[in-house]
Amino acid sequence: MHPFKHTALALSLILLLPLGISLANPPRAEGLDGRGWRALPRHSAGLAPDPVAFADSAIVQVYAAATYGWRGYFAVHPWIIFKRSGETAYTRYEVTGWGRGPVVRRNGAVADGLWFGAVPTVLAEHRGAGVDEMIERIEAAIGSYPYAETYRSYPGPNSNTFIAHIGREVPALQLDMPANAIGKDWRPLADPVGRAVSGTGWQASLFGLLGVTVGIEEGLELNVLGLNFGIDLNRPALRLPLIGRLGFSNGVPTAEAAPNSAEQVPAEARP
């Protein structure tokens, strides 16, 4: 068999594996009571430490959850929350593509809420000493995000581009975004090479469609047309499109979290 056919067959098998796993594990049940997205829960997932009980602690968490609808089979939506020492409520930032004006949203939903029925995973968490200073840098990164008026779901810039920008600007986050965070690798033609999202390596990428990332957190990851393939040796796993990873989890175990909240999503945050 011609070497090209061998390569094509291998790539097909690598892609079919995460596709099969993704289809076998739907991200959520479809619209409840026949009312589509309006009925999907967005209450607290109980993952954020109680901000009142931990009022003296500065806390930062980064989340990701399966996106709404059919895109949830192969992509995630991320956001970041934080509170300074002495504060008793979280501030949440993310990018969404609906509505008018700037795409960066502040406090548009419950801090650790389900994303239209999808339970989030904690990608990064930091508490205590030095975190107040980290929050200052995070807010500066949010203010310097260069695509605050632009949103493209594919290949970017989008919600994953936004959180990846914060990760690059604040290496202390040590943020390792999953392989199915489509848009995390989006870089303009004028700036194709730079720091990896985790701050522990480097990346070369053309518009998030073709590139390579090498880092302590990311391992080795190749990007072809927005589909990421790689291997993580830090927490041994394959980095795969659609499902993110296959192997040891990269999520952050949480404890002392807040109880589930009955708080509802503000009307202005709904699509």
Give the pLDDT means over successive 10-residue stretches in the chain (271 positions). 56 57 55 61 95 97 90 87 98 92 95 95 96 98 97 96 98 95 95 95 96 95 93 89 81 56 38 32
- Nearest CA to 165 out of 147, 189, 178 is that of 147
CA dist., res. 173 & res. 123, Å (int):
10
Report DSSP state, residue 49.
Answer: B
SS3 188: coil
SS3 136: helix
pLDDT digits (tens, 9 = 90+) for 31-71: 444 556 677 889 999 999 999 999 999 999 999 999 987 67
CA dist., res. 76 & res. 84, Å (int):
27
The rounded radius of gyration (Å) of the Cα atoms in the chain is 18
User: In this predicted structure, what is the pLDDT of residue 2?
Assistant: 61
